[in-house]
Amino acid sequence: MQKKISFQDFKQLELRVARVVEVNPLGGSKKLYLITLNLGRERRQVVAGLKPYYSIDELMNKEVVLVVNLEEKEIYGHLSQGMLLAADDGQGKVSLLVPDKPVKEGSEVR
């Protein structure tokens, strides 16, 4: 059974649209990229396990949804400052959640 959260708990998540501005493979990892994102007023980097699903060219300039108030974590020696949202069908297909129309970097997702 799924654990239910309150609407107040959900509202604590800060979701924003960001644009991918740089993607670098992490040496020694078959799955991880170091991705730099533009949030309008700031840039952030995240470590994301997207290598098996997206090429660098597919990621560049893509608008994505980022959890910005997630606790930072060091992964493979790099600080990850958020989490990209993606759907995973459990059978090897992963798809990033993206806005269906262009929006300004830093726009709030609600």
What's the whole-model pTM score? 0.93
| 88-106 pLDDT per residue, tens | 999 989 999 999 999 999 9
In sequence order, what are the residues at sequence separation of 6 or more whose Cβ sits closer than 8 angstroms to the Cβ of residue 40?
Answer: 104, 105, 106
Q: Which of 99, 84, 16 is nearest to 54 (CA)?
A: 84
| 37-77 pLDDT per residue, tens | 999 999 999 999 999 999 999 999 999 999 999 999 999 99
pLDDT, mean of residues 22-34: 95
Q: Which of 24, 25, 18, 26 is nearest to 84 (CA)?
A: 18
Q: Which pLDDT value is given to residue 47?
A: 98
- Structure confidence at residue 14 as a pLDDT band (50, 70, 90): very high
- Answer whether residue 26 shows pLDDT above 90: yes
Give me the domains of the chain, ranges plus CATH numbers.
14-101 (2.40.50.140)
What is the percent of the chain with per-residue pLDDT over 90, rounded to a whole number?
93
Q: Which pLDDT value is given to residue 34?
A: 98
Q: Which of 55, 49, 53, 38 is nearest to 83 (CA)?
A: 49
